Amino acid sequence: MPIDVTLRWDHLKRLTGPLGLYEHALYDVPRTACGYTTDDNGRALVVLARAEPTGVDPAPYLRHVLGSFDGRRLLLRRRSDGRWLSEYSDDAQARGLWGLGEWIGSGRGSPEAERVFEAGLRLDSGHPRANAYMILGVAAASRAGEVDWDRRILGRLPRPTRGRWAWPAPRLTYDNARIPEALIRVGALAGDDRAVSDGLRLLEWLVEEEMGDGHFSFTPVAGRGPGDPRPGFDQQPIEAWAMADACHAAWEVDGSSRWAHAMVMAAEWFLGSNDTGVAVYDAGTGAGFDGLGPEGVNLNRGAESTLAALGALWRLVEARAMA
Please tell me which residue, 154 or 275, carries the higher pLDDT value.
275
Percent over 70 (pLDDT), the chain: 98
Within this chain, do residues 215 and 270 fall inside the same structural domain, yes or no?
Answer: yes
Query: In this structure, is residue 302 part of a structural domain?
Result: yes
Last residue of some domain: 124, 155, 186? 155
Q: b/e string for 7-31 if b means 16 or more Cβ within 10 A?
A: bbbebbebbbeebbbbbbbeebebe
Within this chain, do residues 289 and 197 fall inside the same structural domain, yes or no?
Answer: yes
Query: In this structure, is residue 227 part of a structural domain?
Result: yes
Query: In this structure, is residue 224 part of a structural domain?
Result: yes
Q: Span 131-142, mean pLDDT?
A: 97
Within this chain, do residues 69 and 103 fall inside the same structural domain, yes or no?
Answer: yes
Last residue of some domain: 120, 155, 190? 155
Q: Span 155-162, mean pLDDT?
A: 94
- Asked if 64 and 38 touch (Cβ cutoff 8 Å), the reply is yes
Within this chain, do residues 291 and 226 fall inside the same structural domain, yes or no?
Answer: yes
How far separated are the first and last CA of the chain, in Å rounded?
6
Query: In this structure, is residue 146 part of a structural domain?
Result: yes
Query: In this structure, is residue 21 part of a structural domain?
Result: no
In Å, the largest CA–CA distance within the chain is: 52
Last residue of some domain: 99, 132, 155? 155
Q: How confident is the model at residue 4 (pLDDT cuts 50, 70, 90)?
A: low
Within this chain, do residues 233 and 208 fall inside the same structural domain, yes or no?
Answer: yes
Which alpha helices (H) appear in 18-104, and where do they start and end?
Answer: 38-51, 59-67, 90-103
**Total number of domains in the chain:** 2
Mean pLDDT score of the chain? 96
Measured CA to CA in angstroms, residue 280 lies from 6, 204, 220 at distances of: 15, 25, 15
pLDDT digits (tens, 9 = 90+) for 261-305: 999 999 999 999 999 999 999 999 999 999 999 999 999 999 999
Query: Quick one: how many helices (H) and strands (E) in the chain?
Result: 12, 10
Task: Please say if the pLDDT value at position 150 is more than 50.
Answer: yes
Report, in angstroms and rounded to the nearest whole number, the Rg of the chain calculated over CA atoms. Answer: 18
Query: In this structure, is residue 87 part of a structural domain?
Result: yes
Query: How confident is the model at residue 3, as a pLDDT?
Result: 59
If we measure between CA atoms, which residue out of 184, 259, 171, 262 comes closest to residue 216?
262
Q: Which domain holds residue 309?
A: 157-323
**Among 2-11, 81-90, 108-117, 310-319, which stretch is predicted with the lowest mean pLDDT?**
2-11
Q: How confident is the model at residue 171 (pLDDT cuts 50, 70, 90)?
A: very high
Which one-letter DSSP state was computed for residue 107? I
Within this chain, do residues 246 and 233 fall inside the same structural domain, yes or no?
Answer: yes
Query: In this structure, is residue 107 part of a structural domain?
Result: yes
Query: How confident is the model at residue 5, as a pLDDT?
Result: 84
CA angle 205, 251, 199 (to 5 degrees): 40
3-state helix, strand, coil in the chain (%, to 5): 50, 10, 40
Cα distance between residue 105 and residue 33, in whole Å: 33
What is the value of pTM for the model shown? 0.97
Within this chain, do residues 119 and 253 fall inside the same structural domain, yes or no?
Answer: no
Within this chain, do residues 151 and 164 fall inside the same structural domain, yes or no?
Answer: no
Whichever domain contains 161, its CATH number is: 1.50.10.20
Query: In this structure, is residue 135 part of a structural domain?
Result: yes
Task: Please say if the pLDDT value at position 323 is more than 70.
Answer: no
Query: How confident is the model at residue 83, as a pLDDT?
Result: 98
Query: How confident is the model at residue 240, as a pLDDT?
Result: 99
Query: How confident is the model at residue 1, as a pLDDT?
Result: 41
Within this chain, do residues 312 and 187 fall inside the same structural domain, yes or no?
Answer: yes
Task: Please say if the pLDDT value at position 321 is more than 90.
Answer: no
Three-state secondary structure of 86-104? CCECHHHHHHHHHHHHHHH
**Among 51-65, 137-151, 191-205, 281-295, which stretch is predicted with the lowest mean pLDDT?**
137-151
Within this chain, do residues 202 and 311 fall inside the same structural domain, yes or no?
Answer: yes
Which one-letter DSSP state was computed for residue 296? E
- Asked if 128 and 173 touch (Cβ cutoff 8 Å), the reply is no
Q: Which amino acid is at 123?
A: L
Within this chain, do residues 144 and 164 fall inside the same structural domain, yes or no?
Answer: no
Query: How confident is the model at residue 318, as a pLDDT?
Result: 85
Within this chain, do residues 168 and 263 fall inside the same structural domain, yes or no?
Answer: yes
- Asked if 205 and 160 touch (Cβ cutoff 8 Å), the reply is yes
